[in-house]
């Protein structure tokens, strides 16, 4: 495997970052996870733009411009022969001991192109069982949820550990006001009377790129979509529920906290969106070359 580090491709056995890197010491950085389908990088421009927005908010200078980052992603995927896979882009503030970032320069940019399977294929056919976890998403006033930052994800990891302890496929996270926010690594949708409902960004969720894609596809299909505050009552009494994310794609959730959702099987709207999403990703994307 070839790893991109600050402009160079090196074998994974030689790929190293400093123990003084601010990403390691403080979670001081941002990242993106990107899918490759059939030799095409899905939503490349959107991922690049989001990383630049995250970096700008964190006041970290990306060491390449947008075109340079896009090319670095394509270059890394080519070097690893990725046809269907996953690209992880990590940006940190750079090297230096101590919390104060004023003297931290020379950001670290790492790109890994490999494989990632989040859920087994049968889960897309039978659906996930998920549980509500006690770990809450951070308040938007404390950590801006639109930044895909390294440090923020410790909460998601703790939430995933909660779900793992009870053998659940995923953990459903609430915000501090008790509203449904997101899963540990995915956005949440429910279907009610043929319409899609999903939590609004301001309650503390990441504006997922797959989430946005599903909203676009649903509207093209004539399926109404709205962003609404939701409680567990809304999820428990939904006709259908599904999760979206770069790694997860679109996956049904058929049971929440021991309660069957709708029929307890993947519903027709969910199945239609899964089919539309898969057809869309087969056509869309930037060729690796």
Is 90 exceeded by the pLDDT of residue 264? yes
Q: Global pTM?
A: 0.93
- Percent of the chain past pLDDT 70, that is, above it, reads 100
Domain 2-114 -> CATH class: alpha beta
Closest to 150 (Cα-Cα) out of 55, 249, 227, 240: 55
What is the residue extent of each domain of the chain?
2-114, 121-283
Average pLDDT over residues 246-262: 96
The 10s digit of each residue's pLDDT in 170-219 is 999 999 999 999 999 999 999 999 999 999 998 999 999 999 999 999 99
16 is catalytic: no
Q: Which of 43, 148, 152, 160 is catalytic?
A: 148
Provide CATH code, domain 121-283: 3.20.10.10
Average pLDDT over residues 247-258: 96
pLDDT confidence tier of residue 89, bands split at 50, 70 and 90: very high
pLDDT confidence tier of residue 92, bands split at 50, 70 and 90: very high
Average pLDDT over residues 122-148: 91
- Percent of the chain past pLDDT 90, that is, above it, reads 89
């Amino acid at each position: 495997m070839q790893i991109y580090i600050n402009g160079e491709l090196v074998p994974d056995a030689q790929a190293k970052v400093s123990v003084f890197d601010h990403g390691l010491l403080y979670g001081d950085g941002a990242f993106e996870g990107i899918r490759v389908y059939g030799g095409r990088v899905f939503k490349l421009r959107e991922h690049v733009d989001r990383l630049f927005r995250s970096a700008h908010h964190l006041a970290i200078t990306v060491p390449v411009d947008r075109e340079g980052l896009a090319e670095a992603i394509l270059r890394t995927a080519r070097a690893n022969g990725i046809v269907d896979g996953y690209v992880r882009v990590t940006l940190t503030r750079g090297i230096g001991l101590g919390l104060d970032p004023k003297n931290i320069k020379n950001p670290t940019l790492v790109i890994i192109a490999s494989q990632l399977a989040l859920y087994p294929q049968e889960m897309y056919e039978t659906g996930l069982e998920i549980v509500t976890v006690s770990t809450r998403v951070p308040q938007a006033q404390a950590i801006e949820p639109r930044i895909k930052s390294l440090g923020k994800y410790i909460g998601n990891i703790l939430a995933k550990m909660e779900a793992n302890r009870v053998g659940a496929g995923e953990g459903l996270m609430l915000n501090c006001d008790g509203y449904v926010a997101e899963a540990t690594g995915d956005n949440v949708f429910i279907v009610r009377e043929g319409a899609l409902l999903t939590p609004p960004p301001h309650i503390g969720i990441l504006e997922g790129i797959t989430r946005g894609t599903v909203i676009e596809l649903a509207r093209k299909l004539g399926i109404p979509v709205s962003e609404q505050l939701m409680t567990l009552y809304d999820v428990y009494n939904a006709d259908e529920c599904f999760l979206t994310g770069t790694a997860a794609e679109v996956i049904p959730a058929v049971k929440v906290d021991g309660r069957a959702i709708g029929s307890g099987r993947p519903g027709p709207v969910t199945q239609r969106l899964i089919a539309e999403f898969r057809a869309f990703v087969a056509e869309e994307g930037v060729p690796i070359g």
